[in-house]
């Protein structure tokens, strides 16, 4: 009996704690926005932005970056305008396609008018088809699978598509003669990695690049990647292409270092963040090249403002996930300033207006100047190649 009582009491305590936590959060944010509204008379119905991404689970690092980026942009815009332009509600999807649809429905119940998500590819595919059904405008910061944008006319991407990255990387490597014997290490269980890999191999074939080794790993056996590194070394690869995320890439760099293997490493936008990996000797990343739209070390005004604000707010350096998410909000804000959309429009009307606007507009943000979207909703922006030198990104070709 005593045990039962203690269990019930413990449960009740947890519940009340949890309740306290969440109420405190909401009151804080509402009072903040009320204060902002109170200060000026100029106000309009706020536009409800929904965000979906993994803030728990294995991919939480990406979802959290996107959530932070979107929150930062919304706060900045609201503060600058003097009234609540945007309200942001971010829902967790644990990077699970089923939970993502649940999150989408929860946001719909909340009254979402524009969706800025989801973050990872599988959830985005499911959510995109819901958006097409409901005629809800969807702009994903980071879901780069080609099929996401191809789901429908109202689905747009802020990031490069995977095939585009693979193609551009191969083109760049061929144009600059970075390597004669190329090795590729990729994650065959990941759509991002296989998407880039497939396009890279196809373009490399057309350009006559010599691929000597292409070992792969899967999400289930990535704890030791030294075999894959050894395969590339034994095949004599002088350039290793890594279309993977930074955590696995850091292991590959460590494995290569311990074997005394020093090829040129070339990665894609998933590599951004490698300098922030905990316990990783960043000097190993010296010379690593990557195709990435964003650099936290950029010196243009948009980037420096964003990076310093982000560092002040979240105590960490933003990566391209955060930058793409930040740009998503500003791209929508550009349409608000144009008068294309306002908070009184229904989600469906807003979607039609935004689809038309995104077809013609040009947007400049932290991830590039004069970005435009094609009729499929895929973005076109200038690809940049950075090289890591002494814990900083240096734009290749600028010096």
Partner 1 sequence: MALTRLKHMKKTTRSNLITFGIVIVFYLVVEALMAGGLTSSSFEGQLVPICAYVVLAISLNLTVGFLGELSLGHAGFMSVGAFAGVLLWTVLGKTLPAYVALPLAFLAGGLVAGIFGVIVGVPVLRLSGDYLAIVTLAFGEIIKNIINACYLGYDENGLHFSLTDAASMGLAPDGTTLINGAMGITRITKASTFTMGIALVLITLVVILNLIHSRTGRAVMAIRDNEIAAQSVGVDLTRYKLTAFVISAVFAGFAGVLYALNYSSLVARRFDYNTSIQILVFVVLGGMGNIRGSIIAAALLTVLPEMLRGMDDYRMLIYAIVLIVMMIFNQSPQIVAWRKRVAARFTRKKGAPAPQKEVA
Residue selected from 197, 241, 246, 321 as contacting partner 1 according to rule CB under 8 A:
197
* Nearest distance from C-beta of residue 125 to partner 1, angstroms: 4
Cis peptide before 345 (omega within 30 of 0): no
Stretch that binds partner 1, among 13-21, 165-173, 259-267, 363-371 (CB under 8 A): 13-21
Residue selected from 6, 9, 24, 25 as contacting partner 1 according to rule CB under 8 A:
25
Distance CA 263, CA 282 (A): 17
Residue selected from 190, 248, 324, 327 as contacting partner 1 according to rule CB under 8 A:
190
The 77-116 contact track toward partner 1, x by CB under 8 A, reads --------------xx---xxxx-xxxxxx-xx-------
3-state secondary structure of 66: helix
Pick 102 or 364: Cβ nearer partner 1: 102
- Please tell me whether residue 121 binds partner 1 under the rule CB under 8 A: yes
* Nearest distance from C-beta of residue 217 to partner 1, angstroms: 12
Q: How far is CA 185 from CA 214, 293, 297, 387, in A?
A: 6, 22, 27, 19
Distance CA 271, CA 273 (A): 6
Beta bridge partners of 184: 241
Residue selected from 84, 126, 295, 303 as contacting partner 1 according to rule CB under 8 A:
126
Residue 120 contacts residue 66 (beta carbons within 8 Å):
no
Backbone angles phi, psi at 253, to 5 degrees: -65, -40
Stretch that binds partner 1, among 145-153, 271-279, 297-305, 343-351 (CB under 8 A): 145-153
DSSP 182-228: EEE-EETT-HHHHHHHHHHHHHHHHHT-EEEE--EE-TTS-S--HHH
Q: Which two tokens stand for residue 108?
A: 């719909």
Site residues (CB under 8 A) for partner 1?
1, 3-4, 7-8, 10-11, 14-15, 17-19, 21-22, 25, 56, 91-92, 96-99, 101-106, 108-109, 121-122, 125-126, 128-130, 145, 147, 151, 188-191, 193-195, 197-198, 201-202, 218-220
């Amino acid at each position: 009996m005593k045990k039962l009582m203690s269990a019930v009491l413990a449960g009740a305590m947890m519940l009340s704690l949890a309740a306290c936590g969440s109420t405190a959060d909401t009151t804080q944010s509402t009072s903040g926005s009320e204060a902002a509204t109170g200060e000026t008379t100029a106000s309009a119905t706020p536009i409800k932005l929904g965000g979906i991404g993994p803030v728990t689970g294995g991919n939480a690092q990406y979802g959290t970056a996107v959530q932070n980026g979107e929150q930062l942009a919304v706060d900045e815009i609201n503060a600058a305008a003097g009234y609540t332009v945007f309200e942001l509600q971010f829902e967790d999807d644990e990077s699970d396609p089923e939970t993502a649809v649940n999150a989408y429905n929860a946001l719909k119940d909340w009254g979402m008018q524009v969706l800025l998500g989801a973050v990872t590819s599988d959830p985005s595919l499911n959510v995109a088809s819901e958006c097409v059904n409901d005629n809800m405008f969807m702009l994903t910061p980071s879901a780069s699978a080609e099929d996401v944008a191809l789901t429908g006319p109202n689905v747009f991407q802020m990031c490069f598509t995977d095939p585009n990255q693979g193609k551009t990387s191969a083109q760049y490597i061929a144009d600059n003669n970075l390597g004669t014997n190329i090795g590729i290490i990729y994650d065959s269980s990941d759509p991002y990695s296989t998407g880039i890999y497939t396009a890279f191999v196809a373009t490399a074939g057309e350009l006559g690049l010599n691929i000597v080794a292409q070992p792969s790993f899967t999400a289930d056996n990535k704890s030791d990647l030294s075999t894959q590194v050894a395969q590339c070394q034994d095949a004599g690869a002088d350039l290793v292409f890594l279309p993977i995320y930074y955590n696995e890439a850091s292991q590959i760099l460590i494995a290569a270092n311990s074997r005394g293997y020093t090829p040129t490493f070339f990665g894609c936008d998933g590599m951004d963040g490698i300098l922030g990996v905990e316990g990783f000797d960043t000097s190993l990343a010296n010379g690593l090249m990557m195709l990435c739209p964003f650099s936290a070390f950029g010196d243009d005004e948009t980037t420096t403002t964003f990076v310093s604000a982000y560092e002040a707010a979240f105590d960490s350096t933003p990566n391209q996930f955060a930058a793409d998410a930040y740009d998503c909000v500003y791209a929508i804000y550009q349409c608000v300033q144009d008068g294309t959309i306002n908070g009184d429009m229904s989600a469906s009307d807003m979607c039609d207006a935004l689809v038309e606007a995104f077809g013609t507009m040009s947007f400049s943000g932290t991830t590039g100047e004069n970005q435009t979207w094609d009729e499929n909703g895929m973005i076109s922006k200038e690809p940049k190649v950075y090289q890591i030198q002494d814990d900083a990104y240096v734009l290749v070709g600028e010096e």
